[in-house]
């Protein structure tokens, strides 16, 4: 098996759903997949594209309830400026910032799960953006941290070969699946705005970043 091929178990871990759910999706043709013998296999690049398309789909908003309010999940003290050139160092630094939120009860688990998920599949979504995200039993409510990198993070395996400069790290409680997906979709869609991305990169302080992101 090549490194680019995933099993049902690996896809289930990445998507935070049950193996049975992945199996049912494969059987119904709802997720890119193929069979090797009797076993379902999934091409990493195709799953990544499928996930990004779903995150960017406006159709998800119809099944969500409360709108995303940035002020409810982010505070200026969890906005930092980074200077790391590797995704490992950037993710560790940002996870330590996110772990200062009272909603996060286990810093080591958060960092470990963020890194494990990134090893399984890149969370870069193009345009210089990455949205690392996890759901954990040790997180009591959805919360996020933002990293503005003054250095290009060059090893995120981006879909458009543009180095990552904007990192939005999200951690949610394990039972917040809908709100979690809604938040991912919200930022994936909003950050398509070039003017917003450029303003974030040009910002000189956390307060300025917070003001840009908290505008409706």
Angle at the Cα of 121 from the Cα atoms of 77 and 74, rounded to 5 degrees? 15
> What does the alpha-carbon distance between residue 201 and residue 149 come to, in Å, rounded to a whole number?
8
Please give the torsion angle defined by the CA atoms of residues 210, 212, 213 and 216, in that order, rounded to the nearest 10 degrees.
130
Question: Catalytic site residue 133?
Answer: yes
> What does the alpha-carbon distance between residue 208 and residue 180 come to, in Å, rounded to a whole number?
25
> What does the alpha-carbon distance between residue 150 and residue 141 come to, in Å, rounded to a whole number?
30
Burial status of residue 60 (CB atoms within 10 A of its CB: 0-12, 13-18, 19 or more)? middle
Q: Which residues contact 37 (CB under 8 A, 6 or more apart)?
A: none
> What does the alpha-carbon distance between residue 128 and residue 164 come to, in Å, rounded to a whole number?
4
Instruction: Please identify which of the residues 41, 117, 133, 197 carries the catalytic annotation.
Output: 133
Q: Which residues are catalytic?
A: 133
């Amino acid at each position: 098996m090549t490194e680019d091929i995933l099993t049902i178990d690996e896809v289930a871990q990445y998507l935070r759903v049950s193996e049975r759910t992945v199996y049912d999706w494969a059987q119904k043709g709802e997720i890119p997949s193929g069979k090797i013998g009797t076993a379902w296999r999934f091409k990493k690049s195709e799953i990544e594209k499928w996930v990004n398309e779903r995150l960017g789909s406006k159709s998800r908003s119809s099944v969500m309830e409360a709108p995303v309010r940035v002020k409810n999940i982010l505070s200026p003290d969890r906005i930092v400026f980074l200077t790391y050139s590797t995704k490992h160092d950037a993710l560790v630094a940002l996870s330590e910032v996110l772990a200062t939120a009272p909603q996060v009860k286990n810093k080591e688990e958060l960092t470990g799960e963020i890194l494990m998920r990134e090893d399984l599949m890149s969370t870069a979504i193009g345009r210089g953006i990455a949205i690392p995200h996890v759901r954990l039993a040790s997180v009591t409510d959805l919360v996020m941290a933002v990293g503005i990198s003054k250095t290009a993070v060059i090893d995120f395996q981006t879909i458009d070969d543009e180095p990552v400069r904007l990192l939005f790290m999200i951690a949610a409680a394990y039972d917040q699946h809908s709100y979690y997906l809604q938040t991912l979709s919200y930022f994936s869609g909003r950050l398509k705005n070039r003017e917003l991305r450029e303003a974030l990169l040009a910002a000189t302080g956390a307060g300025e970043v917070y003001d840009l992101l908290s505008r409706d």
